[in-house]
A and B are shown apart, each in its own frame.
Chain A
């Protein structure tokens, strides 16, 4: 029989329920791997399996989950990649994690991330960069880089992440796994340490599309503690589709400009040809305002961040630098507690919201957001899905973009439009370029998760990508 760690989450849950595998054995197998992790993917690993076996009818049957550090977990460090929160153990648990616990998925560990989820390479963590399991000299993407590296490296069966402008999809693409950003509002944000509240959304990073569907089924739902949460309208179904007959794929010309690396483009075009073989039609389309999405995003997200991060004031939790006056205590605490990228975004956001600039920046960006949502609505009248490469490039060398914030931000070119529109988008492995994974992104209308998962499942099967955790089985 295969090792417990060879099973997908769907398979592992089935094996435990069938009595072929004990939940404790499964947990321990992953715990050993997570404790021995050499990618800096974890900031905390459980020291033992849960003392109680999962309930016999628990749908997730004890399959452990790695959780991005910004999800509050009662009594377990939740530092959001920031030195400001070093050692902070929240007094409550986020709704998303609680829902997984209630479904029988215990927390395996907390995963490293860019500080407060601000970054596209996981180099902005106060706890050191995460390494890409495919090549340890390269980044895993970000900001959910630890979650992606843990799943891709095989030390976790699946992981929970968050996506504000691409922070689930881009690291999933760069590490050759599946990452799903659901419709905004489908999962409660209660207990997620906030970056940009109108964009932040939790979601799964998994080995397979079916695993993503299974986790989403148990994550989604309205929550009275997050008044913006509405849940999904239909129960999430595990996908089984093998064909794409009648499916219309739209390829937006504006997102396929010269910024796309040739290898990424070649892999993308192969996938389009494969989609046609499966019965889909593929046509070029337009999202006229998409080229402005990045600008709007890098106004709106920093603006919301500058407001959200006002809570880190040295008063109620986390670090404090003592000073004689209250204002000096605030300013010095924030100077010492935040890393460079967080400071940059607070400054950018504060500037964009400041008197005299609000209309030119924030007001304008909100109007661009309206136009982008309209572009997608118009495109979805003709197409079932919009498809793009997830990231314009493969994983890049550690340190190669840290001195140039703008080049780092351009990583999010293909993922931010969907975030601004609040629509669901999934990244699936799309073959290799130069020996490194690329991602295929499919985006659907709001609440179209079931159809999206079906299409992604059919493509996943046809692509037959060999994940890193499968390659190392023989080793």
Chain B
């Protein structure tokens, strides 16, 4: 659980870990039924509607002005998003 939570960048309290372990075990018990199916040679489906490469012309288009894009940020510095240093200990 804690390994998966770390992968998901999600902090969980001890209480949450305990609860979720039981709940997810039950869900996985149901999901595991698909292991019974023989799907040898079946192609996987990642997208249901046949779409050829959808390309647009490679031309610059207007996008959000910088001040608008920054307006909803919790913290900004000069003209960028402000975050804690990844190196800080």
Query: A406 and B26: CB pair below 8 A?
Result: yes
Contacts of A385 in B (CB 8 A): none
Annotate A406-428 by CB proximity to B: 1 below 8 A, 0 otherwise. 10010000000000111000000
Query: A327 and B34: CB pair below 8 A?
Result: no
In the complex, whether A316 has a CB less than 8 A from a CB of chain B is: yes
Contacts of B16 in A (CB 8 A): 340, 343
Shortest CB distance B52–A (Å): 10
A-B contact count (CB 8 A): 173
In the complex, whether A454 has a CB less than 8 A from a CB of chain B is: no
| B13, B27, B51, B74: the one within 8 Å of A228 (CB) | B51
Annotate A343-379 by CB proximity to B: 1 below 8 A, 0 otherwise. 1101110110010000011011111111101000000
Query: B81 and A316: CB pair below 8 A?
Result: yes
Annotate A195-232 by CB proximity to B: 1 below 8 A, 0 otherwise. 00010000000000000000000000000100110100
CB nearest to B42 among chain A residues: A367
Shortest CB distance A96–B (Å): 17
Number of interface residues of A (CB under 8 A): 73
Query: A361 and B31: CB pair below 8 A?
Result: yes
Contacts of A361 in B (CB 8 A): 31
Query: A370 and B42: CB pair below 8 A?
Result: yes
Instruction: Pick the interface stretch among A20-28, A85-93, A271-279.
Output: A85-93
Once the chains are docked, how many angstroms separate the CA of A91 from the CA of B63? Answer: 11
User: In the complex, which residues 33-56 of chain B have their Cβ closer than 8 Å to any Cβ of chain A?
Assistant: 33-35, 37, 39, 42-49, 51, 54, 56
Shortest CB distance A220–B (Å): 13
In the complex, whether A324 has a CB less than 8 A from a CB of chain B is: yes
Query: A325 and B49: CB pair below 8 A?
Result: no
Annotate B74-85 by CB proximity to A: 1 below 8 A, 0 otherwise. 110000010111
In the complex, whether A286 has a CB less than 8 A from a CB of chain B is: no
| A306, A327, A334, A370: the one within 8 Å of B44 (CB) | A370
Q: In the complex where A91-B68, A348-B27 touch, is A331 in contact with B74 (Cβ < 8 A)? A: no
In the complex, whether A299 has a CB less than 8 A from a CB of chain B is: yes
| A328, A368, A404: the one within 8 Å of B34 (CB) | A368
Contacts of B83 in A (CB 8 A): 314-315, 326, 329
Query: B74 and A406: CB pair below 8 A?
Result: no
Contacts of B51 in A (CB 8 A): 185, 227-228, 230
CB nearest to B54 among chain A residues: A227
| B10, B32, B81: the one within 8 Å of A334 (CB) | B10
Query: B20 and A343: CB pair below 8 A?
Result: yes
The residues of A with any CB-CB pair to B shorter than 8 Å are: 88-92, 183-185, 198, 224, 227-228, 230, 289, 292, 294-296, 298-299, 306, 310, 313-320, 322-332, 334-335, 338, 340, 343-344, 346-348, 350-351, 354, 360-361, 363-371, 373, 404-406, 409, 420-422, 446
Known: A324-B88, A364-B37, A405-B23. 16 other contacts (CB 8 A): A89-B72, A183-B49, A184-B48, A224-B56, A292-B33, A298-B30, A310-B9, A315-B74, A326-B84, A326-B85, A344-B20, A364-B35, A367-B39, A369-B45, A370-B45, A371-B37
* CB pairs A–B below 8 angstroms (18 shown): A228-B47, A292-B33, A298-B30, A315-B83, A325-B84, A328-B84, A330-B9, A331-B10, A334-B11, A344-B20, A347-B8, A347-B10, A350-B7, A366-B45, A367-B43, A370-B43, A371-B39, A373-B45
Q: Pick the 4 closest A-B CB pairs, nearest first.
A: A422-B48, A366-B44, A320-B74, A227-B54
